[in-house]
Structure 1
Amino acid sequence: MAYGELAPKSTLCARLTPQQKKIVKRCLVFFSISIIIAGTIVFACFYIRRMREEQHFIENYAPDIIIPSMDFTVLNLTETSLSVKWDLVIRIPPDLPGYYTCLKGSFQTFILYQGVTIANSSLSYNLIPNWPQLLNTSSIASEGDMDSVVVKGIMEDIKETRDMRFGTRLLLPDCRSGRTMNYTCDETALRFESGSQKKAATFENNSPICHYNHP
């Protein structure tokens, strides 16, 4: 049995008039352009936000500083007088000089006992960019620099406890803003040498880390 040719299926596009086809074409072009514009706006917003986050991170970040060692020396100790000295080695990380802190300048070191500043010193330095460096600084204090409670506490540590802890703060010039970079360090644990009341040194394995305080 022979069959006649099947009639072609009618499509929506085929049923449209030329004017309607033009309208549909314009709508498709407009829709495509809208998609491209929307995608561009989303990408631009994402990129700007990412750049702002990176800028904020850079402005509020600075590498940590480490204190590899601290030595404590009793210069003079009597029932009524006290004079002591701190010798610190400060490790400047390679990514700090040049961008964050100035290559040349001076920094200040503050020694704290139970949260109270009892000594400070200033040291001029000359750093090499992208290179880790060690800086040595010393601070001296006597009973005239400390209140009676602090003096009594340090004397008891020297004579009885033989262990003591000192905090440290560092101030370095900030080349990004022209202000100062303020670092607060973990406490350093010191212990007197056996049979001595004159010299104490770091005895815990972990070196204190100095963290940058965001302004």
Structure 2
Amino acid sequence: MGRVKMGAVVSLDGFIARDDDTVGPLFDWFGNGDAEWRWSPRQDEPCRTTLASKYFVQSVYPNIGAVVIGRRLFDLTDGWGGVPPAGEHVFVVTHTPPAGWKHTDTAPFTFVTGGVAAAIEQAQELAGPDRIVDVAAGQIGGQALRLGLIEQIVLHVVPVVFGSGRPFFGGAGTGDPITLGNPSRIVQGDRVTHLLYDVA
């Protein structure tokens, strides 16, 4: 099966959004460089970052097959209008599938009511052995990490302090601390530092 990665852009104090779900300057680095690239062929406007950021992202995410997100992110984005932001399919962990979503019959979205592990298993089956499953940070990513389902953690750390907000590791739950080694890669962009951790 393809590697399962959890990642997001995150503030210096560990938040992926403010309490009101706004992201402030977290994504400013997507437009502060000369290197043009796209997360996927479907992306309308290209990112323009430093070469270092471009090469990091493209090497860590060479081929995303499927994305796993939670219902909160789905509702906030309206499922990106039925178009996956990356990969070919989105698996949404939810207690109840949305009623009346206008893209239900046409969009490559699957609503999984059996929990995080079931969603990742389905995503891995679709992605196959050569593509990546990208799990959104936050509640879903934190649960997956605690379940031992995450192989790598990717942080794009922006030098801003929110003070409070939506934590990168969300509901990682209680139990023994999850101890990681030193980052396997550290790359400095402009107003962002990229970190890659392997999870034992």
Q: Please state which band the TM-score falls in when normalised by the shorter chain.
A: under 0.3
Q: Please tell me whether Structure 1 or Structure 2 has the larger radius of gyration of its CA atoms.
A: 1
Scaled by the length of structure 1, what TM-score is found?
0.21
- Is the helix fraction higher in 1 or 2? 1
Scaled by the length of structure 2, what TM-score is found?
0.22
Q: Which structure would you say has the larger RCO, counting Cα contacts within 8 Å and 6 or more residues apart? A: 2
- Is the strand fraction higher in 1 or 2? 1
